[in-house]
Chain A
Amino acid sequence: MTVHSFQEHFDAKIDNEVMIEPRDWMPDDYRKTLIRQISQHAHSEIVGMLPEGNWITRAPSLRRKAVLLAKVQDEGGHGLYLYSAAETLGITRDEMYDQLHTGKAKYSSIFNYPTLTWADIGAIGWLVDGAAIMNQVPLCRTSYGPYARAMVRVCKEESFHQRQGFEIMMTLANGTDVQKKMAQDALNRWWWPSIMMFGPNDADSPHTAQSMRWRIKRFTNDELRQKFIDVTVEQARLIGLTVPDPDLKWNEERGHYDFGPINWDEFWNVVKGNGPCNKERLDARKKAWEDGAWVRDAALAHSEKRKARKENKEVKEVKAA
């Protein structure tokens, strides 16, 4: 087949909703886009362990501590599936880590915000995981097979995370005055960054059109953002919390909530590295990696010694026979 017919074959698969698999021919840009998106997603899971991990040792009850530990552990597992999915595209996990550590690869900016009170753990589960689910459910049908299959597993666990986050918020909102204050304060700080998680407006999103064509993305940033707002505003009302947006208003005609302007200067500033915790998060990842170097070296050296001993033994056995 010529490159031209490879391309036609690929396009036909996309158009007919046939998944692309690792050994299939794919355009270079499709591969690059996927590597960028999947590795960014994997990095987000791993960096996302940090703000929540921050409260594991201070969780207010043994049950909450156990649930939080299990949740953060799940995020690690998601990172693992996603790194594996990206590896099928011809990049190694070490290369991806290197891109993260050198700042070449990005991760979700939301994790550059601090977790200041216990209520932030509720807000992250409810809002951040809630927004992630909106983004991720359509990815279960994304055109690249290994990514779609990884996302099916991820989404199952994320919906449990979202529920536990909402349950923390509900408990606080039904609690004492100070607990209500804690919950409202967390919502005030996490609302806008969560809304920004869907990325720039469609008009300013350079990759959207191509990604939609390739069926990597199924909905635009603005469509998903609107869906999230519509659902979440109702949930906030249900537990008696106020969404910090004075312009928020139900629009009968559109059948959606109208909302106030998003501070995109803040968004781009955090993306560029100037958020409250950008440096801490990256430093923590780099420290874990660097401090772990001798451990990884030892594991490798030991497995090579084992292999050599086994081969040696086999050679001796053959000679003896």
Chain B
Amino acid sequence: MNQLLYTLQIADNALIIGHRISEWCGHGPILEQDIAITNTSLDHLGQARSLYQHAADMFNALSAEQKNALFTSTALQNKINKGENIDEDDLAYLRDSWDFRNVLLTEQPNKDWAYTIVRSFFYDAFNFYFYTELQKSKDSVLAAIAEKSLKEVTYHLRWSSEWMIRLGDGTDESKERIQEAVDNRWAYTGEFFEATEADKAMLAEGIGVDLAGIKTKWMERVNAVLEEATLTLPANNWMHSGGKECRHSENLGFVLAEMQFMQRAYPDMEW
């Protein structure tokens, strides 16, 4: 069960940040960057799909009782009660927000290019070290997904780091905007390193990543990029939390309302 929840934590991050980033498609500040950010969104979505497929396999192997206890939405309950197997789409489209395990950072709105870059940068840096370690997972499916994703994430981190530096060391206006975004999004980064029950159990079994171990590396990388970007971290170190425990910000409900609309309005159809 913890292995399933652990996989969902990773998958939900990828789905929700990919969704947010996809909102830029067609509206980017520079055509080349519109294409680049859309590509990033596709990578996140691809990762989410592989992870959901893995999660669905684990879910389908559970007992009826375990299945019924896990997710709350009526749509998913109906499927389970009919004895049907679930798939990647059911996990993305039929769970309600109180069953999503993504960190709060990923669901925060795009706002502008600066906020989008800061969100991506914090997340990409986390992902880079996370997937590096996950390659060693005893769950061979997770290890394989990590290996494939790491190539993409390495590029994501380079891209968002370059933009941090460009905006920080660009014009007065860009510096002001990106510093404001850093100040406001910083409080969403503590959650990366909070270990849930699933995190702890998976670490103990050699499946999951040691979050405390990657925290130092993440911090070093963030500091190095901020220094080159001539930016600083805010003095206030209070951190939001809850996403990984399924307590979300108001944003996620709207993301899901939009994303899940078709599957909810026209259930049980092939698209």
Contact = CB atoms under 8 A, between A and B. Distances in A.
A binds B: yes
B57 to A, nearest CB: 16
Identify which of A64, A69, A70 gathers the most chain B CB atoms within 10 Å of its CB. Answer: A69
B174 A83 contact: no
B30 interface: yes
SS class, residues of chain B in contact with chain A:
helix
A295 B262 contact: no
B165 A302 contact: yes
A275 interface: no
Nearest to A284: B27
A28 interface: no
B166 A291 contact: no
Contact of B173 (A53, A59, A294): A294
A63 B167 CA distance: 34
Size band of the A side of the interface? 35 or more
Given A294-B177, A298-B171, A69 B45 contact: yes
A249 to B, nearest CB: 34
Interface in B148-185: 165-167, 169-171, 173-174, 177
B101 interface: no
A58 interface: yes
A288 interface: yes
A53 B113 contact: no
Given A76-B38, A298-B166, A60 B30 contact: no
Nearest to A42: B31
A178 interface: yes
Contacts of B271: 60-61, 64, 118, 168, 171
SS class, residues of chain A in contact with chain B:
helix
Given A60-B262, A66-B42, A297-B173, A292 B113 contact: yes
A62 B52 contact: yes
Interface in A276-321: 284, 287-288, 291-299, 301-302, 305
B69 interface: no
B52 to A, nearest CB: 7
A69 B29 contact: no
A62 B259 CA distance: 10
B244 interface: no
B210 interface: no
Interface stretch (B18-26, B192-200, B213-221, B235-243): B18-26
20 contacts: A46-B26, A49-B25, A53-B27, A56-B23, A57-B23, A58-B262, A60-B263, A61-B271, A62-B49, A66-B49, A70-B42, A76-B26, A76-B34, A76-B38, A77-B35, A118-B271, A176-B266, A288-B27, A288-B28, A293-B29
Identify which of B42, B48, B271 gathers the most chain A CB atoms within 10 Å of its CB. Answer: B271
